[in-house]
């Protein structure tokens, strides 16, 4: 889907074409200009677009943020840009705290989730702090604004039996089925994010030692252990399936699609949905469901929180602690089932 964020510049009507795919990712297709209209300061559209490009470059190089995070920030800033154009604000440099508060209120009126609003405000705070540091603005209108308090929802997890049902869906006598089986087993065995899995290269797995190396958010490297079951199916994939998919070509990516190229997030998402339907799962299944299930099952079986935090690649242990609420629920169920006076 292509969106056009519209505005005016000294050279006429200005629009930025932005394409968004089915997975919510997007990129700028270019800037168009038609009809001579001059109602705002010269170069308004192009100047702001340039500062956004510089900001995204800064986040990528200096902060090492993941591509998906960069895309989200860029889309959020483009939406804020459109809001300013609708208000006919004279210059993005003159944005006040009240304008930003009005923007946040407009998102609330549209029914946006608190997490979405928080991300939009986080993008604006980071953007204006960057502009202030670079001397592009004389004040930061977001400096005293606080992020909305998030109501954390417990993540959806599968039982061990449900995981077994899902992971047994691929037909492993085919190259595609063997690849899918290896991917599903690896995700559940390691708790990797799907972006971390598809970014794996051939040299990142040491199957003999039972470890893999991946890069998470902020380009942080971590080492994650692999279980025997996952190692077995990954070895089968390498021996029987990957060569058939690559078809003699050279590809460094560990998991490849039917064209022999690196698997995409969208491609894996479609694969997972197909197997969830095949298994007749009555729960909503996403790639993160296996990650949540991995963490929850480890804690239920006695793993310590710090180790799970390390394997998940969480910078803050508070992020990992959400899974302790799930294990407490599990303990309550066990108690209710087993205690004679429950």
Whether 335 is catalytic is no
Q: How far apart are CA 242 and CA 129, in angstroms?
A: 47
Q: Which residue among the candidates 188, 237, 275, 323 is catalytic per the annotation?
A: 323
Q: How far apart are CA 134 and CA 300, in angstroms?
A: 49
Q: Which residue among the candidates 242, 265, 291, 292 is catalytic per the annotation?
A: 291
Counting Cα atoms < 13 Å in the Cβ hemisphere of 181 gives: 26
Residue 62 structure tokens: 């200096």
Q: Which residue among the candidates 11, 244, 273, 314 is catalytic per the annotation?
A: 314
What is the DSSP-derived secondary structure letter of residue 217?
G
Q: Which residue among the candidates 41, 217, 261, 273 is catalytic per the annotation?
A: 217
Whether 283 is catalytic is no
Whether 323 is catalytic is yes
DSSP labels for 37-73? Answer: ---S-TTHHHHHHHHHHHHHHHHHHTS---HHHHHHH
Nearest residue to 323 via CA among 149, 150, 154: 154
Are 52 and 200 in contact by the 8 Å Cβ rule? The answer is: no
Q: Which residue among the candidates 119, 120, 179, 193 is catalytic per the annotation?
A: 193
Whether 217 is catalytic is yes
Neighbours of 256 (CB within 10 A): 21
Exposed e or buried b for every residue in 118-151, given b needs 16+ CB within 10 A? bbbbebbbbbbebbbeeeebeebbbeebeeeeee
Torsion 130-133-138-144 (CA) sign = positive
Q: How far apart are CA 330 and CA 324, in angstroms?
A: 10
Complete edge-to-edge strand list for the sheet that includes strand 26-34: 2-9, 12-20, 26-34
Q: How far apart are CA 121 and CA 110, in angstroms?
A: 15
Neighbours of 337 (CB within 10 A): 8
Q: Which residue among the candidates 11, 93, 244, 288 is catalytic per the annotation?
A: 288
Catalytic residues: 193, 217, 288, 291, 314, 323
């Amino acid at each position: 889907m292509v969106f056009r964020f519209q505005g005016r510049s000294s050279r006429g009507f200005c629009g930025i074409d932005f394409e968004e795919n089915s997975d919510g990712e997007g990129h700028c297709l270019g800037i168009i200009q038609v009809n001579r209209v001059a109602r705002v300061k010269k170069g308004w559209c192009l100047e702001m677009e340039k500062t956004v490009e510089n900001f995204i470059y800064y986040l990528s190089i200096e902060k090492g943020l993941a591509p998906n995070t960069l895309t989200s920030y860029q889309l959020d800033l483009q939406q804020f840009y459109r809001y300013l154009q609708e208000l006919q604000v004279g210059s993005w440099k003159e944005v006040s705290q009240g304008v930003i508060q009005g923007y946040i209120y407009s998102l609330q009126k549209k029914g946006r989730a608190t997490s979405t609003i928080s991300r939009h405000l986080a993008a604006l705070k980071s953007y204006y702090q960057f502009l202030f540091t670079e001397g592009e603005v004389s004040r930061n209108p977001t400096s005293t604004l606080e992020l909305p308090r998030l109501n954390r929802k417990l993540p959806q997890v599968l039982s061990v039996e449900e995981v077994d049902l899902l992971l047994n869906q691929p037909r492993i006598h085919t190259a595609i089925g063997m690849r899918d089986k290896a991917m599903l087993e690896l995700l559940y065995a390691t708790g990797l994010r799907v972006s971390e899995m598809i970014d794996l290269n051939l040299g990142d797995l040491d199957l003999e030692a039972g470890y893999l190396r991946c890069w998470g958010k902020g380009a942080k490297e971590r080492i994650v252990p692999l279980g025997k079951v996952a190692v077995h199916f990954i070895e089968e994939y390498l021996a029987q399936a990957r060569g058939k998919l690559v078809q003699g070509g050279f590809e460094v990516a560990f998991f490849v699609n039917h064209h022999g190229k690196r698997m995409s997030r969208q491609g894996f998402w479609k694969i997972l949905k197909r197997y969830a339907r095949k298994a007749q799962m009555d729960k909503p299944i996403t790639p993160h469901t296996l990650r949540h299930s991995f963490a929850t099952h480890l804690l239920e079986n006695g793993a310590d929180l710090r180790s799970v935090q390390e394997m998940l690649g969480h910078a803050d242990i508070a992020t990992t602690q959400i899974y302790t609420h799930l294990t407490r629920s599990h303990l309550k169920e066990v108690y209710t089932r087993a205690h004679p006076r429950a």
